[in-house]
Chains A and B, each alone.
Chain A
Amino acid sequence: MKDSRIRGADIVIRSLIAENAKYIFGYPGGAIMPVYDALYDYEDQIQHILTRHEQGAIHAAQGYARVSGKVGVCMATSGPGATNLITGIADALIDSTPLVCITGQVASYLLGTDAFQETDVVGISMPATKWNIQVQRVEDIAPAIAKAFHIARSGRPGPVLIDITKNAQVALGEFNYVPCLNIRSYKPYPKVSDSDIDLAAELIDRAERPYLLYGQGVIIGKAEKELAAFLDKTGIPAACTLLGTGALSEEHPNYVGKLGMHGNYGPNLLTNKCDVLIAVGMRFDDRVTGDLTRYAKQAKVVHLELDSAEINKNVRCAAPVLGDCKISLAKLTEKVKPAKHDAWTAKFRELEAEEKRVVVGNDLLPTKDGLTMGEVIRHINEFKADDAILVTDVGQHQMVAWRYFEYKTTRTQVTSGGLGTMGFALPAALGAQLHDYNRQVICVVGDGGIQMTVQEFGTIMQTKAPVKVVLLNNNFLGMVRQWQQLFFDKRYSFTELENPDFQKIAEAYRFKSQKVEKRGDLREAVAEMFIHDGPYFLEVVVEKEDNVFPMIASGSSVEEVRLS
């Protein structure tokens, strides 16, 4: 009789195929070599993307996961391969991104002996994963992967890690994939309670100045339509968090802007004027709330949230609605009375006009000589498609691009929000592009961040992913410089950079490229970038010492949002 058993390494790949994983972002090495050997036989069923660094692999997996809504898969070897994943794992945890990370580990008999490339990866990754496990036996591989996918994508998504010893990869075992549907200790979708809905509806119906804040929970929960329906019926003005951006079209009549340290003027200021604050799928991050002791104290808070640990964590909540917001929003919409809040919404519009007059005009249509980051984004808006995806790094360019990019559909915003990981954008843009080669993916990045993962130009070159990389170069670590200017007496300690010729680097990776230093050349260069079929690198030399406003200084109240 023929032996039906296959290697553990084959089981790994066939399990990933069974979970419909399209890509593995990874980097080979000693302890994961059997899996790479197996991969050779499945090239027609699953695609491996060889990045140039493991950090690039995991950020690419994140970018893919964020735009596709699927689980991103990445793979690395033991020791340094695995530790290079940690930044991405921490990023994915705080930004609720579903990932399955597979790491090779030294053989069981070598564990704890300080063997070559042995690191306690389960220990190191524990505080940054939603769940992790070490697998030492071939028969445990498929069940671990099944459990990992279920945990990564259900409830509040997050990264999981499976560390597989080399002996388990080479041992023979039966392959019989059973997807994991239930774990008795894990209840990812608490049932929405009708009494919670009743109380929330009562507060909303009685409110004179209700205000809704939406976060990434709406996107993760696929509740975009439910959110729009709720807003249509209630007439409540709504603002988004950084990661919630795109869940509601910015053309929706109730959309009033963005929250947070560099969000819009009205949405921050009026947080302390509303009487009922409805938070949907957001976690009151400190970059949104500023000083909590002076945050929305006058308001009764209604919090629609899937993760019970988020309720009452930062802000006291009068009416918690625990559960999936797709369900709770629909129920709430049914329950509340139709209403209009035109006079209250007009207050947002007044402040919006003031912000336009003081800040936006100068950002988008500057009269000074130096180029602004804002005008670059203005030209991107001119040529981009409605469903174009914007991937940003971390810093000034991130905030400016976020403020001015016109988001019209969901899952068009990819950035490192919670962790603020510089170097995120370039690999994440690659991952986003791989999800759909036909969509525009624009990677806006600063001169600091691009140098943290610049090697991923190589992966873009190899995959031919037509990513449009826009470098906003001010020769500074601009956000840190801004803080030094405002809060550290202009002591510009280690923020000015002597930069390489970025265009030459891009060209070395066979990118078509252009460098713009004068306003007169900008529009045409942006247009050319979009017309070009393939990866493109556009460097724009911008004003060295521009600041991002509005701004809520760290530790200040949302009321203290400044326009200059």
Chain B
Amino acid sequence: MKRYTISVFTENFIGILSRITLIFTRRGINIDGFTASESREEGIYRITIEVTTSEEQIIQLAKQIDKIVDVIKAFYYLDDEMVFQEIALYKIPISSLDPGLEKVIRQHSARIISAEKEFVVIELTGHKEDTQQLLEVLKEFNVLEFVRSGRVAVAKPMETIDKYL
């Protein structure tokens, strides 16, 4: 079992997300992370799916996704074939704001993106290990809420979607 990222280029078609996730549901495979946004080309959407599975299975998954009529192309990659990032937000009560917290923020190159009357929101962008590590450290400052996005990723191979259009 390895961690893979599937990168899917699709038409913006109602139901396309369901069609893609059904491929995982049917095989009883859990999706670790999922993000969707418009790609460089207007009207073409890019979906990034993180999944832990075997090589055999990931080939099948990518082929089945590729087979969907409104999917332009699906690629899959191992972590070292991609450049990827995730974003995490941490909500900390204002009462925890002290020099200790400031030091933690500096050490992790995190930043405060919002300060409200009762809390601050800290943001960190990085790999899961980085954002998880900060979460562990921040626990002593009483994390009220924590959220992490799915990964966004670009592939290292120089192939682009153009040849499939």
Contacts of B26 in A (CB 8 A): 127
Interface pair B67/A134, CB less than 8 Å apart? no
| CB within 8 Å: A-B pair count | 41
Which of A134, A183, A184, A186 is within 8 Å of B14, CB to CB? A134
A131 CA / B70 CA spacing, docked (Å) = 9
Interface pair A185/B67, CB less than 8 Å apart? no
Interface contacts beyond A126-B18, A126-B19, A185-B72: sample of 13 additional A-B pairs, CB < 8 Å, sorted by A: A123-B18, A126-B15, A127-B26, A130-B69, A131-B69, A132-B15, A184-B72, A184-B165, A185-B69, A308-B63, A309-B64, A309-B67, A313-B63
Contacts of B14 in A (CB 8 A): 133-134
Interface pair A186/B69, CB less than 8 Å apart? yes
- A-B contact list, 24 entries, CB within 8 Å: A122-B15, A123-B15, A123-B18, A126-B18, A127-B26, A130-B69, A133-B14, A151-B69, A183-B69, A184-B11, A184-B72, A184-B165, A185-B10, A185-B11, A185-B69, A186-B69, A307-B67, A308-B63, A308-B66, A308-B67, A309-B60, A309-B63, A309-B64, A313-B60
Interface readout for A125-150 with B: 1 if CB under 8 Å, 0 if not?
Answer: 01100111110000000000000000
A151 CA / B68 CA spacing, docked (Å) = 11
Nearest CB of B to A241, in Å: 21
A127 CA / B72 CA spacing, docked (Å) = 19
A338 CA / B154 CA spacing, docked (Å) = 51
A312 at the interface (CB under 8 A from B): yes
B94 at the interface (CB under 8 A from A): no
B97 at the interface (CB under 8 A from A): no
Nearest CB of B to A322, in Å: 11
Residue of B nearest to A123 (CB): B18
Q: In the complex, which residues 147-185 of chain A have their Cβ closer than 8 Å to any Cβ of chain B?
A: 151, 183-185
Nearest CB of A to B24, in Å: 12
Nearest CB of A to B139, in Å: 40
Nearest CB of B to A522, in Å: 46
B59 at the interface (CB under 8 A from A): yes
Query: A residues near B, CB below 8 A?
Result: 122-123, 126-127, 130-134, 151, 183-186, 307-309, 312-313
Nearest CB of A to B156, in Å: 24
Which of B10, B22, B60, B69 is within 8 Å of A127, CB to CB? B22
Contacts of B72 in A (CB 8 A): 184-185
Residue of B nearest to A150 (CB): B69
Query: Which one of A185, A307, A308 has the greatest number of beta carbons of chain B within 10 Å?
Result: A185
Nearest CB of A to B129, in Å: 34
Contacts of A133 in B (CB 8 A): 14-15
Nearest CB of B to A293, in Å: 14
B71 at the interface (CB under 8 A from A): yes
Contacts of A307 in B (CB 8 A): 67
A362 CA / B11 CA spacing, docked (Å) = 59
A186 CA / B11 CA spacing, docked (Å) = 11
Nearest CB of B to A486, in Å: 30
Residue of B nearest to A122 (CB): B15
Residue of B nearest to A308 (CB): B63
A184 CA / B44 CA spacing, docked (Å) = 11
Nearest CB of A to B128, in Å: 30
A308 CA / B74 CA spacing, docked (Å) = 13
A349 CA / B9 CA spacing, docked (Å) = 52
Residue of A nearest to B19 (CB): A126
Interface readout for B1-36 with A: 1 if CB under 8 Å, 0 if not?
Answer: 000000000110011001100100010000000000
Nearest CB of A to B86, in Å: 28
Contacts of A183 in B (CB 8 A): 69
Nearest CB of B to A127, in Å: 5
Contacts of B15 in A (CB 8 A): 122-123, 126, 132-133
A186 CA / B70 CA spacing, docked (Å) = 7
A308 CA / B71 CA spacing, docked (Å) = 14
Nearest CB of B to A153, in Å: 13
Contacts of A185 in B (CB 8 A): 10-11, 69-72
A131 CA / B14 CA spacing, docked (Å) = 11
Q: In the complex, which residues 37-78 of chain B have their Cβ closer than 8 Å to any Cβ of chain A?
A: 59-60, 63-64, 66-67, 69-72
Nearest CB of B to A182, in Å: 12
Interface readout for B92-118 with A: 1 if CB under 8 Å, 0 if not?
Answer: 000000000000000000000000000
A312 CA / B63 CA spacing, docked (Å) = 11
Interface pair B69/A309, CB less than 8 Å apart? no
Nearest CB of A to B49, in Å: 17
Nearest CB of A to B11, in Å: 5
A132 CA / B14 CA spacing, docked (Å) = 10
A312 CA / B165 CA spacing, docked (Å) = 26
Residue of A nearest to B11 (CB): A185
A308 CA / B63 CA spacing, docked (Å) = 7
Contacts of A134 in B (CB 8 A): 14
A313 CA / B56 CA spacing, docked (Å) = 9
A185 CA / B10 CA spacing, docked (Å) = 8
Nearest CB of B to A284, in Å: 14
Nearest CB of B to A507, in Å: 46
A516 CA / B67 CA spacing, docked (Å) = 50
Nearest CB of A to B108, in Å: 42
Contacts of A131 in B (CB 8 A): 69-70
Contacts of A132 in B (CB 8 A): 15
Residue of B nearest to A183 (CB): B69
A184 CA / B26 CA spacing, docked (Å) = 27
Nearest CB of B to A312, in Å: 7
Contacts of B11 in A (CB 8 A): 184-185
A121 CA / B41 CA spacing, docked (Å) = 31
Interface pair A312/B22, CB less than 8 Å apart? no
Nearest CB of B to A518, in Å: 50
A123 CA / B25 CA spacing, docked (Å) = 14
A555 CA / B28 CA spacing, docked (Å) = 22
